[in-house]
Amino acid sequence: MAHRGIQIQLTYTAQVSGNYATSSMQVFVRAAMSDQIWVESRSSGTQLCNDGPFNSFTGALIHM
C-alpha cells in the first residue's frame, strides 16, 4: 500500500499446494482529499488466481 508515492505497508504471501494465497491489512493515514493512495499487486512466477493477481481497496475520508 502506498501513500503519496511512498510505500507504507507491505505483505508477502506464498501459494501452498494449490490453495489460493491471501493476505489482508489495514492502515490509517492522515490524507488530504487530493492525495493518492493505492494498492499494488506484484508477482514473480505463478499468478495467484485465474492467471492474474487481484486486489481490492476500501477507504474512507474522515474529516476531523
User: Got the DSSP string for 29-60?
Assistant: ----TT--EE-----SSS-SBTTB--------
pTM: 0.51
Looking at residue 47, what is its pLDDT? 47
Averaged pLDDT for residues 7-13: 81
What pLDDT, in 10s, does the model give residues 26-61? 888 888 888 888 877 766 554 445 555 666 778 887
Looking at residue 62, what is its pLDDT? 81
